[in-house]
Structure 1
Amino acid sequence: MSDHNQASAGDRIRSKLKSAFDPVLMEVIDESRKHAGHAHLVTQPGTAGGAGETHFKIKVVADAFKGKSRIDRHRAINDLLRAELNGGVHALAIEAKAPGEV
């Protein structure tokens, strides 16, 4: 399968978060352009010349996070997205909350 036909990292992240946590609110923001030109981007797969999906901010509100600590929430998301983190996503900013949390 060619790279052209593969889902983007952002699409894979959205799909995995939706399937695993059934969020009531979810945002996946690609912030890669803010980091274009950083030295690590030259060596990341699919990021030649600073192009590609390497930095994301995610906001997830889901019942699955009720009663979970911030560390447990982040751990669950990082474990879920391990393939993306090992495959070119360099940074992942996470905001994970249960409904009703501020």
Structure 2
Amino acid sequence: MNDIATGPVAREIADRLTAALAPTHLEVINDSRHHAGHMGDDGSGESHFTVIVESHAFIDTSRVDRQRLVNRALGDLMEDRIHALAIKARPPEAD
């Protein structure tokens, strides 16, 4: 079972993705407890995440371009605070 993330890094991820992509659905899941003691675990409890994001910004974009948009939105967090990020990005379902 994964934990819905509520710590400062998770909130920053959510804030940045919301500002950049105006998601219709966003989940930030903290996977760090599964990696405790492994490489990349900085002891903060916020180093490994999964994001599930649905946005109109992803319409007519490839999977790789969606991941690039997410990474660009997170910017320096990817260099300094996030060791691993699983991205599940999709456009909204057609009505």
Q: TM-score, normalised by structure 1?
A: 0.79
Q: Any idea what SS the aligned residue of 1:77 has?
A: helix
Which one of 70, 73, 79 corresponds to residue 80 of structure 1?
73
Contact 1:30 1:57 in 2 (8 A): yes
Residue 57 of structure 1 deviates from its aligned partner by 0.1
What residue is the counterpart of 2:93 in the other structure? 100
CA offset digits 1:51-82 (Å, max 9, x no partner): 33100000001111000100000011111112
- Alpha-carbon deviations, 1:5-45, whole Å to 9, x = none? xx71100000011111111110000111110010332xxxx
> TM-score normalised to the size of structure 2?
0.85
Name the SS of the counterpart of 2:50 in structure 1: strand
**SS of residue in 1 equivalent to 2:76:** helix
Any gaps of 5 or more consecutive residues in structure 1?
1-6, 42-46
Taking only the aligned residue pairs, the percentage that are identical comes to: 40
Quote the residue 2:40 is aligned against: 40
What displacement does 1:83 show? 1.0
Higher helix share: 1
Shift >4 Å, 4+ stretches:
none
Listed as ranges, the matches of 1:53-72 within 5 Å are 53-72=46-65
Partner in structure 1 of residue 26 of structure 2 = 26
Q: Is the 8 A contact 1:54 1:89 kept in 2?
A: yes
Equivalent position of 2:3 in the other structure = none
**2:11 matched residue in structure 1:** 11
**Shift, 1:93, TM fit:** 0.2
Q: Indicate the structure (1 or 2) with the bigger Cα radius of gyration.
A: 1
Amino acid at match of 2:68: R
